[in-house]
């Protein structure tokens, strides 16, 4: 883990980490709904250094996707995004015009979405969908060059006989191949940051490894930074250097992946680890965290994990901040020492 300490300590200081590719401070995203205001992201701080791989984990609905859709500027009204700092490569994203932000999207920061089948437009061939980004960003001069580049990209992400399949529609590909096409689209402009939202959830185990290897290869060759959003702690352990654990719209623990997984300092992280099937003792019962994620329209003022936390005490009903808990590490819990022992 080579990132400087400041980069990994997204505490209450609003100063972006020096040299960070992406700096986020106090990001908040809300959606007004019939049921009330959904606080989907509530004060997220994080940094991504150039070339680094950050894992983001958390239960369904914890705000992982919304956090990074907010970073990309893809939250639609009536949803609103505010942030104290939202910097990318020295650009203050909150101050850019819609057009300037659009120019960064797809070109410098790219996204692959959770479900490739629904992310690809059923009405256009995959070739058209790959070419579009290339042409929009002026990466190639004309449609012919774009087509050649599209075929080359498909080959690069491991699609056999790409030249023959470039004119096929998304539904004509298998799930793994669609995932690769989506990655090809995301990588078309050689972005500095790839946000991969659950790139492997829909895939079976062998394809899963292939897709992750592919992303790793591209990271190595292009020096691209990666945000890997996933439910899979095994994938995070293997593929990322740093980890952010989200719960109910907040980061509850962050630090070097290996250190966090070896000795979690937040009861939620520990619960996630305990709910993994264990390789060393496959027959031991899986302990899912009991209880449910709190209603994002009626969040309690104190620790949001309180209802489900085995260590909860009366003081947990007071607001809890993300605080340093060791080298490069922070946790949002007042009883971290109880976990350290």
Ligand X SMILES: Nc1ncnc2c1ncn2[C@@H]1O[C@H](COP(=O)(O)OP(=O)(O)OP(=O)(O)O)[C@@H](O)[C@H]1O
Applying CB under 8 A, the residues found at the interface with another protein are 69, 72, 74, 98, 102-107, 110-111, 113-115, 118-124, 132-133, 136-137, 169, 171, 182, 185-186, 189
**97 binds ligand X per the rule CB under 6 A:** no
Interatomic CA distance for residues 298 and 126, integer angstroms: 43
Binding residues vs Mg ion (CB under 5 A): 65
User: Is the previous residue joined to 78 through a cis bond, with omega within 30 degrees of 0?
Assistant: yes
Q: How many CB atoms are located within 10 Å of the residue 179 CB?
A: 30
CB of 293 to Mg ion, least distance (A): 13
Q: Residue 28 or 137: which CB sits closer to another protein? A: 137
CB of 261 to ligand SF4, least distance (A): 17
Stretch that binds ligand X, among 62-70, 87-95, 211-219, 254-262 (CB under 6 A): 62-70
Angle at 211 between CA 207 and CA 213, to 5 degrees: 115
**Interacting residues of 116 by C-beta distance below 8 A, sequence separation 6+:** 170, 175, 178, 179, 181, 182, 202
Angle at 214 between CA 210 and CA 218, to 5 degrees: 170
Q: Which of 16, 55, 61, 133 binds ligand X (CB under 6 A)?
A: 61
CB of 302 to ligand SF4, least distance (A): 7
Q: Residue 193 or 260: which CB sits closer to ligand SF4? A: 260
**Interacting residues of 318 by C-beta distance below 8 A, sequence separation 6+:** 301, 302
Which of positions 262-301 make contact with ligand X (CB under 6 A)?
296
Q: Residue 74 or 311: which CB sits closer to ligand SF4? A: 311
Cα–Cα nearest to 238, from 205, 260, 263, 212:
212
Q: Residue 63 or 170: which CB sits closer to ligand X? A: 63
**320 binds ligand SF4 per the rule CB under 6 A:** yes
* Residue 308 site contact among another protein, ligand X, Mg ion, none (CB < 5 to 8 Å, cut-off depends on kind): none
Q: Residue 29 or 129: which CB sits closer to ligand X? A: 29
**31 binds ligand X per the rule CB under 6 A:** yes
Q: Which of 23, 62, 125, 129 binds ligand X (CB under 6 A)?
A: 62
Cα of 338 vs its chain's centroid, Å:
29
Q: Which of 28, 156, 231, 306 binds ligand SF4 (CB under 6 A)?
A: 306
3-class state of residue 210 by DSSP: helix
- How do strand 250-256 and strand 242-247 relate by DSSP bridges? antiparallel
* Structure tokens belonging to residue 66: 């919304």
* Structure tokens belonging to residue 98: 């819609």
Site of interaction with ligand SF4 (CB under 6 A): 266-267, 303, 305-306, 309, 311-312, 316, 320, 333-335
């Amino acid at each position: 883990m080579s990132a400087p300490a400041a980069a990994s300590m997204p505490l209450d200081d609003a100063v972006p980490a020096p040299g960070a590719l992406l700096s986020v401070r106090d990001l908040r995203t809300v959606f007004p709904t019939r049921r009330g205001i959904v606080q989907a992201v509530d004060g997220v701080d994080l940094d991504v250094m150039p070339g680094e791989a950050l894992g983001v984990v958390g239960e369904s609905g914890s705000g992982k996707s919304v956090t990074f859709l907010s970073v990309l500027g893809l939250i639609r009204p009536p949803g609103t995004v505010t942030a104290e700092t939202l910097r990318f490569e020295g650009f203050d994203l909150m101050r850019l015009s819609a057009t300037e932000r659009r120019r960064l999207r797809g070109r410098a920061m790219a996204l692959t979405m959770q479900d490739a089948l629904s992310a690809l437009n059923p009405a256009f061939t995959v070739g058209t969908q790959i070419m579009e980004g290339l042409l929009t960003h002026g990466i190639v001069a004309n449609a012919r060059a774009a087509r050649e580049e599209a075929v080359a990209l498909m080959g690069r992400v491991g699609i056999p006989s790409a030249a023959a399949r470039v004119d096929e529609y998304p539904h004509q590909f298998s799930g793994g191949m669609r995932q690769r096409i989506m990655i090809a689209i995301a990588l078309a402009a050689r972005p500095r940051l790839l946000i991969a939202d659950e790139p492997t959830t829909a895939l079976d185990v062998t394809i899963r490894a292939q897709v992750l290897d592919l992303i790793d290869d591209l990271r190595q060759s292009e020096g691209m930074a990666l945000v890997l959003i996933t439910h899979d702690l095994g994938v995070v352990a293997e593929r990322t250097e740093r980890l952010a654990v989200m719960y109910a719209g907040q980061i509850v623990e962050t630090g070097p992946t290996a250190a966090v997984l070896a000795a979690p300092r937040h009861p939620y992280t520990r619960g996630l680890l305990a709910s993994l099937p264990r390789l060393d003792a496959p027959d031991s019962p899986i302990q899912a965290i009991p209880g449910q994620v709190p209603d994002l329209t009626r969040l309690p003022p104190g620790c949001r994990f309180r209802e489900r936390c085995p260590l909860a005490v009366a003081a947990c009903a007071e607001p809890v901040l993300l605080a340093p808990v060791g080298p490069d590490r922070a946790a949002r819990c007042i009883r971290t020492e109880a976990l350290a022992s």
